[in-house]
Amino acid sequence: MQDPLRFHRKAPPCAVVIYGANGDLTKRKLMPALYRLAYEGRLAPGFAVIGVSRTAMTDDEFRDRMHDSVRKFLEDSPFDEELWQSFAQGLSYIAGDVGDPASYAELGKHLAGISEARKTEDNVLFYLSTQPSQYAEIAEGLAASGLNKGQGWRRIVIEKPFGHDLDSARVLQGRLQKCFNESEIYRIDHYLGKETVQNIMAFRFGNGIFEPLWNRTYIDHVQITAAESIGVEGRGAYYQEAGALRDMIQNHLLQVMATVAMEPASSFTSDAVRDERAKLLRAIRIMRPDQVADNAVAGQYGPGRSGSERVGGFLGEKGVSPDSQTNTYAAVTFLVDNWRWAGVPFYIRTGKALPKRVSEIAIQFRTAPLAMFRKATAGAETVPNMLILRIQPEEGISLKFVSKRPGSGMQLRPVSMDFNYGSSFGERSPSAYETLLLDAISGDATLYTRQDMVEASWTAVQPIMDYWATQKFNFPNYAAGTWGPEAADEMLARWGHTWRKP
């Protein structure tokens, strides 16, 4: 039963089967998150994790590897050896090829034994973190061996990317829905699990003073930035196929935009909230091919600097072909065709090898109607107020406004009113994967994406992908360590705006 307030939850007994158990995500994110949930006392005593991948490994070898990864990647929280020993008793491993029916039969036997031994009540969460091309095959393999049904519940978590365009997302869905019901399919978007992204809803709908201003009458435009200072770090082969638009905008950043711009839901239940996000995504104006050049900018980094170090360009990365046309930077102007947002541009940008790692939403309000203090602001029109929702790092919220400088004259200066998560709460925030795993085990899909949302966001980026596929870009067009190509500044200049330098 879903806990509508999501407070103080404890997971029901269950087995989590991780496909891709030898991969990076399992090591860096999934296992540390599960361990941390155990540390917090959120997991039921009847809890088990079964790792599946092709590499041959014994249970003990798997436990040892996971021990080392959890120690290494457990950010900002202590590692308790004694707790690990009891957690590790619930870990086991099966080497199997996803194309081999025998591997599902073996998993079935293993799960039956685990249900008996660990009292998991035959509840099973399958987590697919393999190559995306294997998702449908695994779901079909599970269904063919009857593992998609049982005495307890079944759920399947699908990592991103869900398809590589609109058509492939539909094909994937067509195959998945033959194996699992929609209510059993959990499409993960880890940005929705971030505390600061969840806090956008608290900020907007838990306070009375912001919502009346949250519309085209008072808001001039919105800038959503997700900048990363690192390059593609050994993921060149994957990234070359994806690019920034697919990797970050189609999923994470459109979900963030939907959270910023959606209408209030009538209740905080998963379908009510997701209905509103989906409606917003469907209201995004779809670009015609001849509008793409003015509203979307692609970039690729060349050699440059990261801090004081010299770094190479994308084309020199392992797994990247020397004439790659992949975008490592993308900026898009989206418009939303509804009454609240008509005419308000939403600028979204993301990129690798930018000057710093920062994700934020900047909401720029319209200026005061009368420039009463023109002289006081050195001839400029009144400075617009800006609200910054900082997703990471330095999680928090700032409101920028002008204030009178102390003194006998009337001089104004921009100042800031700041809320900082760390100092206000003084406690650690759960990682996105902790939140989302606990949600999936508890049967709460509020922060997972639904098929209609996935299709709406592919629909919004599809014309850009199609147009870019016909172009020959003059890449690289920005140096590593800079804020992206000039064309992104020109895109905003056409609206009379400039990017904020976070």
| Torsions phi, psi for 60 (to 5 deg) | -65, -40
Question: Site for ligand BG6 (CB under 6 A): which residue of 228, 276, 317, 395?
Answer: 228
Indicate the residue among 69 and 359 with the shorter CB distance to ligand BG6: 359
End-to-end CA separation in angstroms for the chain? 42
Distances (CA, A) of 179 to 83, 99, 146, 392: 37, 16, 10, 37
Minimum distance, C-beta of residue 460 to ligand BG6, in the bound complex (Å): 18
Minimum distance, C-beta of residue 238 to ligand BG6, in the bound complex (Å): 8
**Would you give the distance in Å from CA 194 to the centre of its chain?**
8
Minimum distance, C-beta of residue 160 to ligand BG6, in the bound complex (Å): 6
Size of the site for ligand BG6 (CB under 6 A): 4
Minimum distance, C-beta of residue 438 to ligand BG6, in the bound complex (Å): 17
Indicate the residue among 12 and 243 with the shorter CB distance to ligand BG6: 243
Distances (CA, A) of 353 to 7, 148, 393: 38, 42, 17
Decide: 331 and 464 in contact? Cβ < 8 Å. Answer: no
Minimum distance, C-beta of residue 427 to ligand BG6, in the bound complex (Å): 20
Minimum distance, C-beta of residue 247 to ligand BG6, in the bound complex (Å): 5
What is the set of active-site residues? 252
Q: What is the DSSP letter of 248?
A: I
> Going edge to edge, which strands form the sheet with 91-95?
91-95, 47-53, 14-19, 124-128, 154-158, 185-187
Q: How far apart are the C-alpha atoms of 324 and 418, rounded to whole Å?
A: 43
Decide: 293 and 468 in contact? Cβ < 8 Å. Answer: no
Indicate the residue among 247 and 395 with the shorter CB distance to ligand BG6: 247
Q: Which residues, 160 to 179, sit near ligand BG6 by CB under 6 A?
A: 160
Q: Which residues, 417 to 436, sit near ligand BG6 by CB under 6 A?
A: none
Question: Site for ligand BG6 (CB under 6 A): which residue of 184, 220, 247, 439?
Answer: 247
Indicate the residue among 161 and 443 with the shorter CB distance to ligand BG6: 161
Indicate the residue among 10 and 28 with the shorter CB distance to ligand BG6: 28
Site string for ligand BG6, 187-226 (x = CB under 6 A): ----------------------------------------
Burial classification of residue 231, based on how many CB atoms lie within 10 Å of its CB (0-12 exposed, 13-18 middle, 19 or more buried) = buried
**Would you give the distance in Å from CA 125 to the centre of its chain?**
21
Indicate the residue among 43 and 354 with the shorter CB distance to ligand BG6: 354
Q: Which residue is nearest to ligand BG6 (CB)?
A: 247
Q: How far apart are the C-alpha atoms of 18 and 49, rounded to whole Å?
A: 7
Q: Which residues, 331 to 360, sit near ligand BG6 by CB under 6 A?
A: 359
Q: How far apart are the C-alpha atoms of 401 and 358, rounded to whole Å?
A: 22
Q: How far apart are the C-alpha atoms of 281 and 283, rounded to whole Å?
A: 5
Indicate the residue among 247 and 439 with the shorter CB distance to ligand BG6: 247
Minimum distance, C-beta of residue 449 to ligand BG6, in the bound complex (Å): 13
Q: Which residues, 119 to 148, sit near ligand BG6 by CB under 6 A?
A: none
Burial classification of residue 77, based on how many CB atoms lie within 10 Å of its CB (0-12 exposed, 13-18 middle, 19 or more buried) = middle
Contacts to ligand BG6 by CB under 6 A: 160, 228, 247, 359
